[in-house]
């Protein structure tokens, strides 16, 4: 597993200082054999994770909302300013209308993006009964899940073939729909060698407890 984007200790979740060992637990992800002789097979455990209510998920979503807000404000200010300074837009009535329309557009996009980080829904469990690639060997991967209420749903995997390989027909799946956690979790992760961060989707090792990229807990069984 590559060590790039390692900002947090994968064992205790403490923010790291460069490539130094964790100041809290001493774990050194950059050592030659950070996990010793522990195999990734079996490290993911089995059963639903107890970490689903961890406050770190809320912290990640708060940071995400903050970045969205700041980036949107930057666009609202910088784009009209650039158009005015470049001479492509005059500060007359028509120019002011254009600035207002552009600003409202970016604000609405930001509001929609921020609301998407707070929505919640019904949680459910089911089993993967099929998986497909549409449009060719590299396009539109999705899995088909039969929920416990017998409803059939198709879940797109955003052209991520690693995720497509991760999910197997027969896997029992739980959909978490909490305000700060919206993700799919496999019940049995004992045969997996990777875990996907439920916050940022970064691919981690099953021997990790926390995401090295954002510090969120990984969903591991017992």
Work out the mean pLDDT of the chain and round it to a whole number: 90
What is the tens place of the pLDDT at every residue in 91-150? 888 889 988 998 999 899 888 888 877 777 889 999 999 998 876 555 789 999 999 999
Residue 206's pLDDT band (boundaries 50, 70, 90)? very high
Question: Rounded mean pLDDT of 7-19?
Answer: 94
pLDDT of residue 5: 76
Residue 18 has pLDDT above 90, yes or no: no
Q: Which residue has the higher pLDDT, 115 or 165?
A: 165
Looking at the whole model, is its pTM more than 0.85? no
- For residue 2, pLDDT beyond 70: no
pLDDT at 1: 44
How confident is the model over 160-185, as a mean pLDDT?
93
* Mean pLDDT of the 41-45 span: 96
- Mean pLDDT of all residues in 187-200: 95
Per-residue DSSP letters for the chain? ---TT--B-TTT-PBP-TTSPPTTT---TTSSSTTTT--STTTT-BS--SGGG-HHHHHHHHHHHHHHHHHHHHHHHHHHHHHHHTTSS-SSHHHHHHHHHHHHHHHHHHHHHHHTTT-----EEEEEEEEEE-SSTTS-EEEEEEETTS-EEEEE-TT-HHHHHHS-TT-EEEEEEETTEEEEEESB-TT-SEEE-TTT--EEETT-SB-TTT-PBP----
89: confidence class by pLDDT, cuts 50, 70, 90: confident
């Amino acid at each position: 597993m590559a060590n790039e984007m390692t900002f947090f200790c994968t064992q205790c979740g403490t923010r790291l200082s460069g490539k130094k060992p964790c100041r809290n637990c001493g774990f050194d992800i950059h050592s030659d054999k950070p996990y010793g002789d522990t195999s990734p097979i079996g490290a993911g455990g089995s059963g639903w994770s107890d970490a689903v209510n961890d406050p770190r998920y809320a912290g990640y979503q708060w940071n995400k909302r903050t970045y969205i807000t700041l980036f949107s404000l930057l666009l609202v200010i910088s784009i009209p300013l650039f158009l005015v300074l470049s001479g492509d837009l005059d500060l007359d009535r028509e120019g002011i209308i254009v600035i207002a329309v552009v600003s409202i557009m970016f604000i609405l996009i930001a509001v929609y993006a921020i609301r998407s980080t707070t929505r919640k829904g019904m949680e459910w469990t089911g089993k993967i009964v099929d998986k497909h690639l549409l449009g060719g060997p590299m396009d539109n991967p999705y899995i088909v899940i039969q929920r416990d209420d017998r409803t059939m749903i198709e879940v797109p995997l955003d052209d991520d073939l690693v995720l497509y390989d991760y999910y197997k027909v027969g896997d029992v799946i739980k959909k978490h729909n909490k305000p700060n956690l919206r993700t799919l979790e496999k019940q049995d992760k004992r045969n997996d060698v990777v875990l996907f961060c439920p916050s940022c989707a970064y691919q981690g090792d099953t021997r990790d407890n926390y995401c090295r990229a954002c510090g969120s807990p990984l969903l591991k069984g017992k």
